[in-house]
Structure 1
Amino acid sequence: MRQLELRHIRCIVCVAKHLHFARAAEELDLAPPSLTKLIQEAERLLGVRLFHRTKRSVALSAAGEAWLAEAVPALEQLSRGAERAALAERGELGRVEVGYIASAAFTGVLRKAAGGFREAYPRVDITVREVPMDRIPAMLADGQLDAAYVRPPMQLLDGIETATVYRDAFVVALPEDSELAAFPSLAPAQLRDQCFVLPEQEAGTLELARRGRFLPKLGPQPGTLAAVLSCVSLGGMVAIVPHTLAECMALPGVVYRDIKGKPIPSEIALAYRKYERAPAVRAFLDFAKNR
């Protein structure tokens, strides 16, 4: 059985607005006879008379008024649906789940990217949460996260890529009562006898030991950088941490010292799915890579 089509609905609404076939036809860019034919088709399909028509006037019938009360909101909803579909296609509507490690917040990288994206794309729902770095690759792969800030190097699953968004260098965090705290900077070899608290990213510690030509004595790996510094503050251990931490996190009993020689690089990278299809996620990735 033939159903009423969208073109019929638009014609009825337009005639009801003007109560004049010629003006409605002009707005719809139709010839008046074509508009008349479409209205007649609609009335046949509905089985009711929508308009009372004479040579001089057009008026809605009771059936027309009842139909219009339901049709206009439906037509407006269809229009909103088309607008939202277009927004979603352009990446201006949707949802983005972002994971991060603490140093992404300390450096301001997270604020610039997530905060700036919220302002530029107010209709996109972006949520952020701190996540242990070793869980990030799997969470990206199974869709629990759409993007995540990490510290390379790290093991990535197939289909996951990274882009560097911040460059830093490692420094030494040590107890303020340590004999080494008397030095303004430390050579790697001076740390030979120390026990190292390990951040989630071990690369800085291992590189320092390589440069100092010793096998490091490894202590606990408590998780977040705040937890690492807490261990240092208790005394007896040191940690190799990003320089940014020295600028924004002061704990009682902890001091920071530069490492002599060529800086040991520390980076923050944005990890994401290589073949991302969601337009809102792609928009965030493009935005975040250029902050």
Structure 2
Amino acid sequence: MDIRHFRYFLAVARQGNFTRAAEQLGIAPPTLTRQIQDMENELGTRLFVRQTREVSLTEAGAALLIEAEATVRQFEYAQRNAQRAGRGDIGHIELGYVASAVYSGLLQKQVQAFSRECPDVSLNVRESPMASLPAMVLEGRFDIGYVRSPMTLPEGLEAIRLDAEGFVLALSSESWLCRLTEIGPEHLQGETFILPEQISGTLQVAAEGGFAPKLGAQPGGLVAVLALVSLGQGVAVVPESVVGHVGLPGVVYRSIKGCEASSWLSLIYRRFEKSAAVVRYIERVKNR
């Protein structure tokens, strides 16, 4: 017996008539009769009491009815789940991000939009140091990750370029630079630069100012960087999205006159991703 026999049995049990059940199933009545007889022969017992126009369940048939309904229901549930998983409607995604993805609002926008579209896909979202995030995606500890580019990615990863933004200067409110009406790259030559995880902005600003930067500590996330700035340990070139989102006592933000340096967020993922849910997230970001 297979699931088809259970469907046939249930149709006859519900209709109480072979002809009506055959019409419902879209098969010929003799075919349905033969299938039910095959079931009875395999089980070694009668399932129906045949009368002239109607049929009724035997005691064995009544016992089978409960199990057949549960079996068909579970089979259909398994089918639907397999189809949904194949479409990426259900599943799980491990997502890593750097802090600036939150400050820009991009992470919230994309995660919330995906969750509305695929409410049965669970997401575990965790902040991660940018230096280790690509390797964690490649190794499968994360499925996807938001990083700040430009950065070199290991073989096997791809990136989708997302929103770009410029840089601002974070400095102590006690710094002499605060007295300047405008701050240009050339004014920063003697400053110590506290380094965020993405140092391209620092290097570009120094290049525009025509000097080699004096590099200070690289403490990790942006809050740690700004904490050192607030202590007067140096200045920092940070993404402009932090303005209005991260405020620490003793830290002020100033634009850098003529600075053309910029960076952008990227979504990184494995080149040959197999999870349908992850692929669906990636495709949604690509087609945003």
TM-score when normalising by structure 1? 0.96
Query: In structure 1, how many angstroms separate the alpha carbons of the residues matched to 2:226 and 2:280?
Result: 36
Question: Which residue type is aligned with residue 10 of structure 1?
Answer: R
Quote the residue 1:261 is aligned against: 258
The range that moved more, 265-274 or 181-190, is 181-190
Alignment equivalent of 2:108, drawn from 94, 101, 111? 111
Aligned with residue 53 of structure 1, among 50, 55, 73: 50
Are 1:167 and 2:176 an aligned pair? no
Aligned pair partner of 1:149 in 146, 151, 158: 146
How far is 1:236 from its partner?
3.4
> Which amino acid in the other structure matches residue 141 of structure 2?
Q
Distance 1:259 1:51 in 2: 87
Q: Which amino acid aligns with 1:275?
A: F
Aligned pairs for 1:226-265 within 5 A:
226-265=223-262
Unpaired segments ≥5 residues, structure 2: none
Instruction: Encode CA deviations 1:88-116: one digit per residue, 9 max, x unaligned.
Output: 11111111111100010111100111111
Task: Return the offset for 1:198.
Answer: 0.6
> How does 1:128-139 map onto structure 2 within 5 Å?
128-139=125-136
> Which piece of structure 1 moves more, 177-186 or 31-40?
177-186
- 1:51-75 deviation per Cα after TM superposition (whole angstroms, max 9, x unaligned): 1112133111111111111121111
8 Å contact from structure 1 (residues 99, 130) kept in 2: yes
Matched pairs, number? 288
Q: CA deviation at 1:230?
A: 0.7
- How far does residue 44 in structure 1 lie from its aligned partner after superposition? 0.6
Does the 8 Å CA contact 1:184/1:257 hold for their aligned counterparts? no
1:207-258 Cα offsets, whole Å, 9 max, x none, are 1111212221111111110111111011131100001111311111001111
Q: Is the 8 A contact 2:206 2:212 kept in 1?
A: yes
Give yes or no for the alignment of 1:42 onto 2:36.
no
Q: Among the aligned pairs, what percent are the same residue?
A: 44
Q: Report the secondary structure of 1:151's partner residue.
A: strand
Output the amino acid matched with 1:116.
A
For 1:90 and 1:42, the matched residues in 2 are separated by 36
* Partner of residue 278 from structure 1, selected from 256, 266, 275: 275
In 1: Cα distance, 2:161 partner to 2:190 partner? 33
SS of residue in 2 equivalent to 1:27: helix
Cα distance in 1 for partners of 2:181, 2:37 equals 91
Deviation at 1:184, TM superposition (A): 4.0
Distance 1:130 1:268 in 2: 14
Q: What's the offset of the Cα at 1:165?
A: 1.1
Q: Deviation per CA, 1:252-277, whole angstroms, max 9, x where unpaired? A: 10011111214211211111112222
8 Å Cα contact 2:194-2:233 kept in structure 1: no
Alignment-derived partner of residue 11 in structure 1: 8
CA–CA distance in structure 2, aligned partners of residues 111 and 262 of structure 1: 28
| Residue in structure 1 matched with residue 29 of structure 2 by the alignment | 32
State the partner residue of 2:174.
Answer: 177
8 A Cα contact 1:171 1:256, kept in partner: yes
Partner SS state of residue 214, structure 1: coil
Runs (4+) off by over 3 Å = none
Give the Cα separation in 2 of the matches to 1:166 and 1:184. 30
CA separation in 1, counterparts of 2:98 and 2:286? Answer: 17
> Any idea what the Cα deviations from partners look like across 1:8-48, whole Å, max 9, x if unmatched?
11100111111111110000011111110000001111111
**Corresponding residue for 1:81?**
78
